[in-house]
Amino acid sequence: MSHSLEASESKPSSSGDNSGRRSFMRSTLVTSVLTVLSRIVGLVREQVRGYYLGTGMESDAFGIAATIPNMLRRLFAEGAMTAAFVPVFSGLRTDEDRERLGRFFAGFMTLFTLLMLAVTAGGILLARPLVETLFSSQFGDVPGKVELTVGLTQVMFPFLFLVSIAAIVQATLNSFHVFGPSAFTPVLLSATNILVVVWFHDSFENAAWALAVGFLAGGVLQTAFQIPYLREKGLRFRPTLAGFKDPAVRQVARIFVPGIFSAGIYQINVTIAQVIAAGLPEGAVASLQYSLRLQELVLGVFAVSVATVLLPTMSQQVHRGEWSAVKETLSFSIGLLAFITIPATAGLMALATPIVRVLYEYGKFDARSTDMTVWALYFHAAGIFFIAMQRNVVQVFYAMRDLKTPTIIAAVVMAAHICLCWLFSEPLQMQQGGIALAGSVSAVLNVALLYFVLRSRIGLLGTRVLLKSLAKTTGATAAMGLVLAVPLALGFFDSVRGVALALRLVPVVVAAMAAFVLAARLLHCEELEEFARLVRRKVRK
């Protein structure tokens, strides 16, 4: 494992030429493979949840309990803190002063650990007022639901501490262009969770408690697995209070504070959606989360990996003042995202019902659960490309150490999202589907505002070339859609389930993918050619 994961290290490019693209592609592909693996195992984890909990009261309670710590994780670790930490760390690393880099890392980690301990302790103590304030009015009339949610939330808060430390270790390794180990750790998290639930669900009052304990065990492994790779880079976590006086640590703090909101806007919107969904019929929260898992699976195929590779790459390009390289990297990354996410979106929407049935419809997850999840999935899928694009465009601002602008935009988007969640779910009676649609529309607004401001800051972004690429990808997707239309029109997936349904679904998906690749080749899609060149080089090696 160690050898294969270390193979993911690549050197940063100093320009936007073909060599830089190859380096970017190699890092992205390695990260993508491991991210896809982690999302698949995560999907299995959700299948286990569906089997034991379905869309009932316990599943809703666990969903809410996981939402609050996960929102704080995105705010304090994977979002704003990572966005503030990576550019500063990458700048110090570029200056090649290892002793200075080590002092900064030790000082920063000490203060960050103290911060997360305080947040975790506060979360455990305030779990009851948090849950009662946000959710009791929606489901307080369900006996035992508030108490269960409070208890699960308290168990989940230590997971926040563990995963936050793991996120900073991941950001550090990514700054060294080592992406494999961190991309693999979510596999450990989900696999541990699955094993705990399957083996010990009978030891608890209900399986929701086993899910929460599984997250804690997985969080320990997720953090511990990355430490040896960090030590190989010469970094040690030695507690020190020198960080209070370190100008680089203070610089991270100055970037972090205004960026808490902007970097976590996606998770904040998800949390708002959960609060509103809690007032809908039972199962709305759980069905939204099952649907969201499929959306995140598609995003994990490439979007998360591209964003992970993009920030340290752009941070170094900005540090060297290579703005043409920044534009080239951004345009190329968006084209790659479109090439993956647009056909995936079309396929997910077309095959929503058979996909949900074959993945989830077992145990307590019944036909009603399927209908609720599919309804949300239609609208979650519609926003996949725009969420992926937003995650990459915002990296340019982070690389420039500007979190103020995304914060202002995030405030506008969040206000719009709240209004849209209420409008679509209540007056328009779209229920959980309306909440999912509000998230997708908000993603479109977010990326449009970010793109417009960025263009005014650094000039033309190669939009004409990008639109040409998007047109080719859309054309290839249309060819794929024609292939999918035939079995759907013939009712090929009706009246079968389980393994029989999977045996029908797999060849249809393979045929659709083949149609897309063939059409992309005929249309001379640059992204397909980049993939083909990379594969040929690997084969020759």
At 209, list the tokens: 């408690």
Q: Rounded CA gap, 157 and 212, in Å?
A: 10
Q: What does the DSSP 8-state code read for residue 79?
A: I
Buried b / exposed e over 119-142, threshold 16 CB at 10 Å, is bbeebeeebbebbeebbbebbeee
- A 10 A CB-CB count for 106 gives 19
265: CB partners within 8 A, 6+ apart:
406, 410, 413, 414, 446
pLDDT per residue of the chain (541 residues) written in tens, 0 to 9: 343 334 344 444 444 455 555 665 566 666 667 777 777 888 888 888 888 877 777 887 888 788 777 777 776 666 667 767 777 777 777 666 677 777 888 888 888 889 889 988 998 998 888 887 776 655 556 677 788 888 888 888 898 888 888 888 888 887 777 777 777 888 888 898 899 888 888 888 788 888 888 888 888 888 889 888 888 887 777 777 776 778 888 877 776 766 566 555 666 777 777 778 777 777 787 888 889 888 887 876 666 666 555 556 666 677 677 677 777 777 777 888 888 889 999 999 999 999 999 888 888 888 888 999 999 999 999 999 998 888 778 878 877 777 778 888 888 888 899 899 889 987 778 888 899 999 899 999 999 999 889 888 877 776 787 888 889 999 999 999 999 999 999 889 988 888 889 899 999 999 999 999 999 999 988 878 776 665 566 555 5
Task: Please report, for residues 325, 402, 419, 432, the alpha-carbon distance to residue 87 in angstroms, rounded to integers and kept in the order given.
Answer: 16, 10, 34, 38
User: pTM (2 decimals)?
Assistant: 0.67
Q: Rounded CA gap, 290 and 48, in Å?
A: 11
Quick one: which of 122, 123, 105 has its CA closest to 165? Answer: 105
Q: At 471, phi and psi to the nearest 5?
A: -65, -40
> Residue 430: how many CA atoms within 13 Å on its side-chain side?
20
Residue with tokens 């320009």: 15
Give the start-to-end residue ranges of the domains of the chain: 23-461, 463-541
